[in-house]
Amino acid sequence: MRDNINISLDTSYIKEIISSESFEKYLNESKGILEPIICSYKDDKEKVLGWMDIDKLQEEELIKKIEAKAKEIRENADVFIVVGVGGSNGGSRAAIEALYKGEDPKIIYMGNNLSPNYINHMLKKIKGKSIYINVIAKNFETLEPGLGFRILRSYMESVYSKEEMSKRIITTGTIGERLYKLSIEEGYTFLPFPVEVGGRYSVLSSVGLMPIAVSGISIREMLSGAKALKEHFESISYDKNEAFIYATLRNYLSERDVDIEILSYFEHGLRYFGKWWVQLFGESEGKDNKGLFPSSCNYSEDLHAMGQYIQSGKRNLMETFIDVIENNVDIDVPKSNIEDKFDYLNSFTVDGINRCAYEGTIEAHKDGGVSIVNINISKLNAYSLGQLFYWFEISCYASGKLLGVNPFDQMGVENYKKRMFERLGK
Ligand code: PA5
């Protein structure tokens, strides 16, 4: 890895594929699609590539505004509620769950489902607590956050004055649209959802940064990690770009016998990152009867469940492991006074045991005929996470282009909405 690049792709488990003439030919033939990608945001006629322009996303005035509001929330709130669905809350949740240190305020999520049980549970949780909320919706027609906001507004009206509510509500939306107008009318703090950034690519914009800053994670570190990676990509040729090699490999395998990709990790903190990744690739590529089906596995727990299928089920799988090389903490295995038959663990730490499970799993799944790649990150911190988000966004964009789909639309999700709205009389 380079000094400031904390992420690398390891293809050693599929050496025979990567070094084959046919893969090399496939990569060469992809040059026309891949080469222009890195600078494409500079001439973004369709207004979908704003997420690539890290300098624009980290405009000082915006960052200061987010940091100041986050400080106020950290000082005054017991609970901070992120109201949004899909790309509007997926990125921040992934970062917060990966790096959260358990500090106040407690961060919870609403507007991401329609379960009365869940909503009721959340309302119970916030009762009597000092709350702040961030409502995030690019297009403020999405039902879940619209309903969640209404329920929270109604609760807040019962406990706060109008003035207090305006201080405690932050909205992130499209300038000129309904949420924006509402925010002006009611005096809420408004953050612009960049027009050129779609939901699932929005984690490094105001959309993800506001909740992430509230959790105490350094958003400057995250952005600086992403920026270093962007500059690295700009300095290398397409065939040395590991995000492109990964994107090419996915397409190469899907044209052969692979239908499903699993993102796997032995770091429990990455479970919502896995969800973010599934959404990114699923919504970007699942079109025109094409695309790998993305799923994710949180090991070692899922070894006791999906491990069976991955080892011996239908052989149409690729597995992408995220390996965190150096752990932030480690725990010694305590000696036992009673014979519990676990003395073989005495010389290990928990991280050492986790590593043995990881290495053993890779070996076993490889033996089982799964195509395996590894994405290594040196440490789980804000800087590396910024790079990991950016790396996958670039690879998803590239992969969608190679697949021949538009990775920035999601027309398929309109179908269920139409039927649901018919029933709701909208
Ligand atoms: O990635 C996307 O564009 C979607 O998943 C959206 O983020 C999701 O549908 C929420 O949309 P909105 O922010 O308009 O409520």
Q: In angstroms, what CA-CA distances link 124 with 104, 115, 276, 307, 349?
A: 18, 14, 27, 37, 39
pTM over 0.95: yes
- CB 411: neighbour CB atoms within 10 A? 8
**Given pLDDT bands bounded at 50, 70 and 90, which one contains residue 102?**
confident
Classify domain 50-220 by CATH number: 3.40.50.10490
**Given pLDDT bands bounded at 50, 70 and 90, which one contains residue 3?**
confident
Give dist(CA 245, CA 8) in Å, integer.
Answer: 11
Q: In angstroms, what CA-CA distances link 380 with 6, 108, 215, 300?
A: 10, 22, 16, 18
45, 101, 304, 314: the catalytic one is 304
Atom of ligand 1 lying closest to residue 200 CA: 1
| Beta bridge partners of residue 82, listed in sequence order | 109, 134
Atom of ligand 1 lying closest to residue 84 CA: 15
Strand, helix or coil at 186?
Answer: helix
The DSSP code for 233 is H
DSSP string, 36-83: TGGGGGGG-TTS--GGG-HHHHT-HHHHHHHHHHHHHHHHH-SEEEEE
Q: In angstroms, what CA-CA distances link 168 with 153, 164, 398?
A: 11, 6, 40
Q: What's the 66 CA to ligand 1 centre distance in angstroms?
A: 21
- CB 157: neighbour CB atoms within 10 A? 11
Q: Are 368 and 311 in contact (CB under 8 A)?
A: yes
Give dist(CA 62, CA 353) in Å, integer.
Answer: 44
* Omega before 294 within 30 of 0, i.e. cis: no
Within 6 Å (CB) of ligand 1, which residues are found?
Answer: 85-88, 137-139, 142, 145, 198-200, 283, 410
Give dist(CA 204, CA 214) in Å, integer.
Answer: 14
Give dist(CA 42, CA 12) in Å, integer.
Answer: 35
Q: What's the 348 CA to ligand 1 centre distance in angstroms?
A: 45
Q: Which of 268, 213, 221 is nearest to 385 (CA)?
A: 221
pLDDT per position as a tens digit, 292-325: 999 999 999 999 999 999 999 999 999 999 999 9
Active site residue 304: yes
> What does the pLDDT read at residue 1?
56
Q: What's the 386 CA to ligand 1 centre distance in angstroms?
A: 21
Residue percentage of the chain with pLDDT more than 70: 100
242, 283, 319, 393: the catalytic one is 283
Q: What's the 269 CA to ligand 1 centre distance in angstroms?
A: 24
pLDDT per position as a tens digit, 51-67: 999 999 999 999 999 99
Burial category of 334 from C-beta neighbours within 10 Å (exposed 0-12, middle 13-18, buried 19 and up)? exposed
Domain with CATH 3.40.50.10490 in the chain: 7-35+237-412, 50-220
> What does the pLDDT read at residue 387?
98
Average pLDDT value for residue range 271-282: 98
Active site residue 164: no
Atom of ligand 1 lying closest to residue 144 CA: 15
> What does the pLDDT read at residue 213?
98
The DSSP code for 349 is B
Q: Which of 396, 385, 321, 325 is nearest to 95 (CA)?
A: 385
DSSP string, 299-343: TTGGGGTHHHHHHHS-S-EEEEEEEEEE-S---BPPP-SS--S-G
User: CA 30 from chain center: how many Å?
Assistant: 26
Q: Are 51 and 205 in contact (CB under 8 A)?
A: yes
Residue percentage of the chain with pLDDT more than 90: 98
When the candidates are 3.40.50.720, 3.30.70.20, 3.40.50.200, 3.40.50.10490, the CATH number that belongs to 7-35+237-412 is 3.40.50.10490
Q: Are 386 and 222 in contact (CB under 8 A)?
A: yes
Looking at the predicted structure, is the pLDDT value of residue 75 above 80? Answer: yes
The DSSP code for 411 is G
Q: Are 12 and 393 in contact (CB under 8 A)?
A: no
> What does the pLDDT read at residue 245?
98
Q: In angstroms, what CA-CA distances link 396 with 118, 352, 392?
A: 32, 32, 6
Give dist(CA 196, CA 350) in Å, integer.
Answer: 44
pLDDT per position as a tens digit, 154-202: 999 999 999 999 999 999 999 999 999 999 999 999 999 999 999 999 9
